Amino acid sequence: MNDPRLVIDFCGLRFDTPLVLLSGCVGFGAEYTRVKGFSNRDAGALCLKGTTLEPRLGNPPHRICETASGMLNAIGLQNPGVDHVVEQILPTLDFTETRFIANVSGTTVEEYYEVTRRFDDSPIDAIEINISCPNVKAGGVAFGNDRKLSAQVVAACRAATTKPLITKLSPNQTDIAANARACLEAGSDAFAVINTLMGMAIDSEARTPVIGNNQGGLSGPAIKPIALLKVHQVYQVCREHGVPIIGQGGVAGAEDALEFLITGASAVGIGTALFYDPLLLPAVNQGICAYLDRHGLINVGQLTGSLRLHPSPIDSAEDTCPERARPGTAVPKH
């Protein structure tokens, strides 16, 4: 786009647009460049596919299932391993096109550390930590569903790199804000909100799950309302510290992107929508610029966190119904 109004500063990195191509949806940076009309330059950053210490073959088929307004996937982190990515793939990427962010995955804290350490000694711009992986030492519980485990992973990765760390938060937990606070204290520089929601699809004739792994991660427009709420909740933790958020989950057009920015995101992730509209990025960038024009805004950063909430019912009730005052507040006498 080359429109200066779209430029953002993300952890000290210049993104030429607030759009980020999401991990798992664009491979290792070259796949979509084969599509006529597509350019990585239309994105501020691109997240590479999830990478582990050793190569992984991934899950048995079926790995993907289309659902109502969404998609289930259970790829199983198929990848060639961090050494191959650093030595064979990164040298082929054009770092003048966009920023490239590595996505680190693992099944132990030690694996996260080692993969992050390998990416630290590479030209990669930043590192995203996928804490939704199962912890084999804790009976398979996902790191991201326990804030203490989440913080342990972040702290280990922080010790392994000086590059910006982006923690990708799972919505499959009780209190995402508390998890964000723990990760922030452990050294996270930014957050990606949200990862996929866990779901299942059933073949009623066979009476079996459609996905070979039985369950998978749900993405696409179906999860956008949940993602917006989670971004809003995490933003309450981040705003006082100036910590940026990549808002993601169901973005399929400019209006969706604007909603995430207004809710508290500094950047907006696009993933599943690229599968059916690989030339979506220019339209989203243009739509954001048109919104800036309509509202007399100078740059996209003015949108971040500009959400104006309605008064809560209890706030309104306090004015006319003293007995409904919040716990701990004095009730005025008549």
State how far Cα 231 lies from the chain centre. 10
Quick check: is 133 catalytic? yes
The rounded distance, in Å, linking the Cα atoms of 315 and 53 is: 51
Sign of the CA dihedral with 36 first, then 9, 305, and 269 last: positive
The rounded distance, in Å, linking the Cα atoms of 77 and 141 is: 17
Residue among 43, 233, 299 at smallest CA distance from 245: 233
Compute CA distances 175 → 170, 181, 187, 234, 258, whole Å: 10, 10, 19, 10, 25
Residue among 162, 117, 132 at smallest CA distance from 50: 132
Question: Could you say which of 47, 65, 133, 183 is catalytic?
Answer: 133
E-assigned strand segments in 24-112 = 45-51, 64-67, 70-73, 99-104
Beta bridge partners of 71: 66, 219
- Give CA angle at 277 (275, 280), nearest 5°: 120
Compute CA distances 333 → 189, 313, 319, 328, 330, whole Å: 49, 22, 14, 15, 9
Query: First-to-last CA distance in the chain?
Result: 63
DSSP secondary-structure letter at 88? I
Residues assigned a catalytic role: 133
